[in-house]
């Protein structure tokens, strides 16, 4: 179960992690991301993991309250829930989605010839429910992934043209590396998929670690 309605995370999970061979369910978290980010100056790693944890736990509780939300409704089952959050950290300041086009423009111009960090926190919880919908076992894995992104020399006209596409408005930090935003980026150091929204290797490793003890037990 993916605790996110992000189409980018859904695509990464579907194609890059599950290889289009395993179905999964999208169950968005209702957790409100309203922490005071000023208290996390220089601590973006802690914030993204905390947000991811809250998202995964929220979805776990939704499933426990209403079993019809889960992939398996009527029998004992092991369910894996993935929560994720992504932010940008520049000079110790956490940058989330821009709230206006003007903010997006100012922010992207600040990236010009600079390097910032993209951080994703992932929290994976594996629960086994009995037929009565009670949790009989629970294990978790959590981690963060960091990628350094260096932007090219940008001029105001170019940035304005990018903002006019509306692409920056629904993305952490105000750009999409998997879309037109890639034309603004000179290089990255780290996981590309982390910048998109879900680090592939670390997430798949956590999933494998949690599910391995259950292979064959719940089939």
Residues forming the active site? 85
Nearest-CA neighbor of 144 among 32, 40, 62? 40
d(CA 104, CA 172): 10
SS3 assignment, position 10: helix
Q: Which helix (H) or strand (E) holds 86?
A: strand 77-90
The residues pairing with 80 across neighbouring beta strands, listed in sequence order, are 126
Burial level of 203, CB count in 10 A (0-12/13-18/19+)?
Answer: buried
d(CA 172, CA 186): 19
């Amino acid at each position: 179960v993916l605790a996110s309605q992000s189409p980018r995370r859904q695509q990464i999970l579907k194609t890059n992690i599950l290889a289009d061979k395993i179905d999964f369910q999208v169950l968005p978290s209702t957790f409100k991301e309203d922490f005071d980010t000023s208290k996390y100056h220089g601590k973006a790693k802690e914030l993204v993991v905390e947000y991811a944890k809250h998202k995964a736990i929220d979805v776990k509780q939704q499933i426990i309250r209403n079993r019809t939300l889960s992939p398996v409704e009527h029998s004992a089952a092991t369910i894996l829930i993935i929560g994720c959050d992504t932010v940008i950290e520049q000079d110790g300041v956490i940058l989330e989605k821009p709230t206006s086009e003007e903010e997006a423009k100012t922010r992207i111009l600040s990236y010009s010839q600079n390097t910032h960090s993209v951080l994703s926190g992932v929290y994976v919880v594996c629960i086994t429910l009995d037929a009565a919908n009670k949790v009989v076992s629970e294990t978790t894995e959590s981690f963060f992934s960091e990628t350094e992104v260096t932007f090219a020399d940008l001029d105001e006209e170019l940035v304005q043209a990018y903002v006019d596409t509306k692409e920056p408005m629904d993305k952490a930090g105000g750009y999409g590396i998997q879309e037109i935003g890639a034309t603004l980026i000179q290089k990255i150091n780290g996981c590309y998929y982390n910048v998109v929204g879900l680090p592939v290797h670390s997430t798949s490793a956590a999933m494998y670690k949690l599910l391995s003890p259950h292979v064959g037990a719940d089939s």
